[in-house]
Amino acid sequence: MAKLSLLGIFLCALMAMLASANEEIWSTSCYEGAAVVEHKLTAYCKTAIPMGPPWVCSQMNLNLCYAFSADRGIYGQEDGYYGDVCSACRLQLDGHTMECYCRIGEGPGVEKYTVDTDFDITVNANGKLRCFQHTAANCPDYEDAAFSNVTNDSHIRDTGMSLPLAS
């Protein structure tokens, strides 16, 4: 019985390792039009699913990925809820550095802080954004079929097309 349990633990650990090995840096696997709105990162990312949609839209609640402190700024931490003190967040032109205005102490003043999201956010083989043990939800009102005609990112850049959200 103990051998069977050890084998089960080994297989679970191996599957988790393989799953994380297939994850990629989000900003290199997702369309350039990603955005942060109300502490949610929304992005269309490539998938590695045979016969599946080439792109998937997912939305990651960044409160599950980041924390804030005056001495460290915004930093990766599971369930850190940085949004309790930071607002007006957006991605900078490089597409992966997020800047926010965060409240320091009890006063009304805020200061600008940045964090490189590539250190904490990945994309799994299903095209979903991930951080720590959290996997992003599908975008609201999103249908895979709405984007299934796009086969690669050069097509998006070459045609200047915008990514459709299902209506």
Quickly tell me which residue has 């490189």 as its tokens.
116
pLDDT of residue 157: 34
pLDDT band at 49; cut points 50, 70, 90 = confident
Percent above pLDDT 90 for the chain? 53
Question: What's the angle, vertex CA 43, arms to CA 37 and CA 46, rounded to 5?
Answer: 175
Domains of the chain with bracketed CATH: 24-159 (2.30.60.10)
pLDDT exceeds cutoff 60 at 133: yes
Q: Do 83 and 77 touch, CB atoms closer than 8 A?
A: no
pLDDT at 119 over 90: yes
pLDDT bracket for residue 10 (50, 70, 90): very low
Q: How far apart are CA 85 and CA 97, in angstroms?
A: 18
More confident residue, 61 or 155: 61
Under the banding of pLDDT at 50, 70 and 90, the label for residue 162 is: very low
Task: Report the C-alpha dihedral over residues 124, 40, 45, 126, rounded to 10 degrees.
Answer: 30
Across the range 96-125, mean pLDDT stands at 92
Chain center to CA of 94? 15
Q: What is the pLDDT of residue 48?
A: 85
Q: What is the pLDDT of residues 88-104, one digit of tens each?
A: 999 999 999 999 999 98
The two tokens of residue 161 are 């097309």
Predicted confidence band at 142 (pLDDT cuts at 50, 70, 90)? low
Contacts of 23 (CB under 8 A, 6+ apart): 122, 123, 124, 125, 130
66-69 and 55-61 beta bridge pairing: unpaired
Q: Give the pLDDT confidence of 59-84 residue by residue, as tens digits.
A: 999 999 999 999 999 999 999 999 99
Nearest to 26 by CA among 135, 151, 114, 155: 135
